[in-house]
Structure 1
Amino acid sequence: MKTIISITLLIIFSITSAFSQNISGDWSGKAKRGDKEITFVFNIKKEGTTYSSVMNVPTFRISGMKPAVTTFTNGKLTIDGSNLGMSYIATFNSELQQFEGSYKEGGIEMALNLKKGAVKIADQPRPQEPIKPYPYYEEEVVFPNKEANINLAGTLTLPNKNGTFPVVILISGSGPQDRDESFMGHKPFLVLADYLTKQGIGVLRFDDRGQGESTGDFGSATTEDFSKDVLSAITYLKTRKDVDVKNIGLIGHSEGGIIAPLAANNTNDVAFIVLLASTGISGAELSVIQSKTLRQFPVKDEKAYEENSRKAIAIVTSNKSESEIEAELTAHYNDFLRPILSDLNVPEKNINTFITSQVNTSIKPWSRYFLQYNPADEIEKLQIPVLSLNGSKDTQVNAKINQNGIRQALIKGGNQDYKIIELENLNHFFQECETGRMDEYRKIEQTFSPIALKEISSWVLGHIN
């Protein structure tokens, strides 16, 4: 009896020690998706009785992602990244000194075990990425959005430390982005900023709110909120003696291209706008198109699929409460999507995960705002010079459909100075490509087509007063 009690006390002591330990620090591990190994690193911090975490995915050169909530209770680690569309739930194995659990993102679920310490992956910059020391002035900056009570961190590059220069603000696309708009091994905003600065144009690029070194909650923000972050950047630039305040411009990529007009129409301090892979149709229409062109599964009846997609959008954009929308949308997806996926022999568990993810994403403030927002309404108001560039092989934002919307809005508004160009064989990120599909982005060594870079810089230089 004494032996049993001793063993029991030992077990209890071990469990208690594991549960009460401070798990602060780096935890890393690898998950497999098909033949691809993906490395994750979570930096966990304890502040008082609460935890926070920052997620990095070195495989995709993604860093600074801040999940909404991190908890560690009774040996169970829960990283709730609903603001990022991900989650990680694991239990601590005291014998192996590791967390064992699963990582979920969208409809994907992968086994992921984490051990203490960060994994170092050799940085292999793409050919166009600049190498320090740069032949221009670079400064790390922080500026406030006082209305939102957040601080935005970024990098300002100027042709020279001395002088006064025109400056453009780079505005990233949808999803949480760092100041370089890092994606799939590329840093397009770093390449763009380097190129423009070398041409005599200053550049301010910054981490999205809640990302990198910027504070705030990305998951609760809308396109309108992001436009106010841009206005805060303009306010900051106006305080600097090295910035030509009469020549502050905006360059927005993808969603950044619909944020830019919204910001410009709420200030008199924007001299010109460049729209890169921007949309010119409503968020609802774009979503319907993308639901068909980017869908990863076949359907028997395209017309019925489109009708049901529009019904889902109508539910999301209704004036009902969030709980009512969530319930109605879940029921609709169960009637609409579940039979399609079941016919494709998708496991029930995966279908449930997919539908839950779709509902959670759809009811977020960003989605509801985006689906009701038509950038053409803001583009029509613009009376400043506008350059619109889209790639002919962009599979995310169709060039012809969206540039037609942009063109018609500018004509309707009587804008006297605009240029719209469809660039041949370029994808959504302005890479020279074969197919334009999203799975091709990583395989391409080029980050930003020199043709597109030259179009941007030449046009901006031609519109500086």
Structure 2
Amino acid sequence: MLTLLSGNVQAAPALDGFWKGPLKVPGGQWEIIFRVVTLTGGKYFATLDVPMQKVTHMSVDVQIHGDTVMFVAEEAASQFVGRLSADGKQVEGTWQQPGLKAPITLVYSTPPASTGTKVRLTPPYREEEVAFTNIPVNLRMAGMLSVPPGKGPFPAVVLVSDAGAQDRDATIGDYRPMGALADFLTRRGIAVLRVDDRGVGQSGGTPATATTAELVADVQAALNFLRTRPEVDLAHLGIIGHGEGGNVALLTAAQPLPPAFVVTLGAHGLPGRDIVVQQQANTLRSLGTEAAQIEAATKRQQAMLDIIQQTPDHAQAQAIVANMLRQNNEAIDEATAQASAAELTSVRYRHFLNFNPTEKLAGVSCPVLLLHGTADTYAALDANLPLLAKGLRSNKNVESRKLPGVNHLFQSDPASWPIVAGQQRETFSPQAQEMIREWIIAQAKKQ
């Protein structure tokens, strides 16, 4: 998710890197880690890690006002507000979440060197920068097509990223899940097209207004583009979708001219609103928040979601939500509340709250592989995978598989990550990669 920057953009401090500090909590302390990357257009991308609570890569909004820095984790109903030191090396402030308000000092460290999760500059296959058009809306999309060595045509896939405006590699800090998966598959005989989302890189459009139906049209355009390529085996052209991208892949398969197969990675089975509510509750629970505090936070969240869904006038909804945010958290200033309210009342967010991912699954007839990690706290396996399988019950070629210890980003337990140059390297689950490859090749052999 692209984060927001408020205040004087020209005077904004350089925050690129890691900001770490110990947070004292009842019974001990947690290490809090914010990862910040400066983007173009005066924006930041940031994530939150709390290793002891198994919180990884949680999206964070960044707000800057002079030397005041605010990190807002809506998912956890939490925030940090602090003042940047004169030398730019630390931020002293306060962490606040339901049931906890504590001082913390974040200290800056430079980001680690780029790791092997990024595709090599000279891979043993051909890479081609490509562009195509979503013709009905005249929208230009850009991406990278990677083609295996040797004589084709090859089985091929379109990769569809999770929610939020992401680049073709779905880059999160130094972790590039789609880039890593594309590299793995291309080296093993499967052509891959990965695309910059709307409004990212060279792709046109505005991500804040893109509904799920419009994202389906983008994927259909990607499939049609690959159907023009002689390197692609047209009988074995599929889609791999991560998170919400998995739901987009399934919806695309329910349309005319469907793909030959679909692989979902942690797709949603619950309606959008239920996902949002469960996500906050799970995150607060993982942070050690007391049950009564979680219940109170959920009630406030439900009240806000009622306003968003039942107030059609956008300006009015935004004003009410901004007021609710400030009343729920007195530390949030007006500019921050307005920025958050604008996102929460956007066309895309409203659509997501009303989205029922199982509604059209009866129309999917191609083979489907549903993959889900047991450590997924964003789209919990037990709450989502059974609903997807039930929605696809009329399709006799559906497989559901559980990946022990794998989280929503399809990473294994961090203890198993390799160490490169003294740093643990975040990696896409090798078990998941091999499972995807074997299943795709098996589908090609059946036909």
Q: Same fold (TM over 0.5)?
A: yes
Among residues 15, 36, 39, which one is paired with 1:30 in the alignment? 15
Quick one: which amino acid aligns to residue 425 of structure 2? E
Cα distance, 1:114–1:150 mapped onto 2, change above 3 Å: farther
Query: Would the aligned equivalents of 1:86 and 1:104 in 2 still touch at CA under 8 Å?
Result: yes
For 2:405, the aligned partner's letter is N
Distance 1:202 1:28 in 2: 42
State the TM-score, normalizing by the size of structure 2: 0.74
* Counterpart AA for 2:342: N
Q: Which residue, 381, 385, 393 being the options, matches 2:363?
A: 381
Q: Does structure 1 residue 249 correspond to structure 2 residue 229?
A: no
SS of match in other structure, 1:155: strand
Q: CA deviation at 1:220?
A: 2.2
Taking the aligned partners of 1:37 and 1:325, their CA distance within structure 2 comes to: 31
What SS does the corresponding residue of 2:149 show, helix, strand or coil?
A: coil
Distance 1:446 1:189 in 2: 13
Q: Say which of 350, 356, 378 aligns to 1:368.
A: 350
Instruction: Output the CA distance in 1 between the equivalents of 2:314 and 2:61.
Output: 18
How many equivalent pairs are there?
Answer: 376
Task: For residue 59 of structure 1, report the CA deviation from its aligned partner.
Answer: 11
1:427 corresponds to: 407
8 Å Cα contact 1:29-1:40 kept in structure 2? no
Select between 238-247 and 272-281 the one with higher mean Cα deviation: 238-247
Quote the Cα distance in structure 1 between the aligned partners of 2:346 and 2:291. 27
Are 1:391 and 2:373 an aligned pair? yes
Question: Structure 1: which amino acid aligns with 2:239?
Answer: L
The CA distance in 1 between the partners of 2:44 and 2:298, in whole Å, is 36
Deviation for aligned residue 1:235: 1.6
Residues 124, 149 of structure 1: alpha-carbon distance in 2 compared, 3 angstrom cutoff = same
SS at match of 1:211: coil
Give 1:312's aligned amino acid.
M
Q: Is the 8 A contact 2:117 2:174 kept in 1?
A: no
2:5 aligned residue: none
Q: Give the match for residue 189 of structure 1.
A: 178
CA offset at residue 349 of structure 1?
Answer: 3.6
RMSD: 3.4
Runs of 5+ unmatched residues, structure 1 = 1-22, 44-52, 61-83, 90-99, 116-120, 339-347, 437-442
Q: CA deviation at 1:358?
A: 4.0
Residue from 310, 316, 331 that aligns with 1:318? 310
Q: Secondary structure at the match of 1:279?
A: coil
Aligned residues of 1:250 and 1:274 also touching (Cα < 8 A): yes
Q: CA deviation at 1:197?
A: 1.1
Consecutive unaligned residues of structure 2, counting only runs of 5 or more, are 1-9, 22-32, 49-59, 73-78, 89-109, 417-422
**Deviation of the 1:222 alpha carbon:** 2.1
| CA-CA distance at 1:153 after TM superposition | 1.0
Q: Could you tell me whether the CA contact under 8 Å between 1:257 and 1:275 is conserved in 2?
A: yes
Aligned to 1:199: 188
CA distance change for structure 1 residues 325 and 30 in 2, over 3 Å: closer, same or farther? closer
For residues 150 and 246 of structure 1, what CA distance do their matches in structure 2 show?
Answer: 27
The worse-fitting range, judged by mean Cα deviation, of 443-452 and 131-140 is 443-452
Q: Per the alignment, in what secondary structure is the counterpart of residue 205 of structure 1?
A: strand
Per the alignment, residue 392 of structure 2 pairs with 410
Secondary structure at the aligned position of 1:248 is classed as strand
TM-superposed deviation, 1:424: 0.5
Offset, 1:304:
4.6
Q: Give 1:3's aligned residue.
A: none
> CA shift at 1:146, angstroms?
2.6
- 1:41–1:402 Cα change, 3 Å: closer
Corresponding residue of 2:51 = none
TM normalised by structure 1 equals 0.71
CA contact (8 A) 1:164 1:244 kept: yes
Deviation at 1:169, TM superposition (A): 0.4
Instruction: Rate the CA distance shift 1:379–1:160 in 2: closer, same or farther, 3 A.
Output: same
> Is the Cα–Cα contact under 8 Å of residues 325 and 332 in structure 2 kept in the other structure?
no
Secondary structure of 2:15's match?
Answer: strand
| Cα distance between partner residues in 1 of 2:213 and 2:251 | 7
Q: CA deviation at 1:124?
A: 2.7
Q: 2:412 is aligned with what amino acid?
A: E
Q: Distance in 2 between matches of 1:41 and 1:177?
A: 14
Quick one: distance in 2 between partners of 1:233 and 1:159?
A: 19
SS at match of 1:244: strand
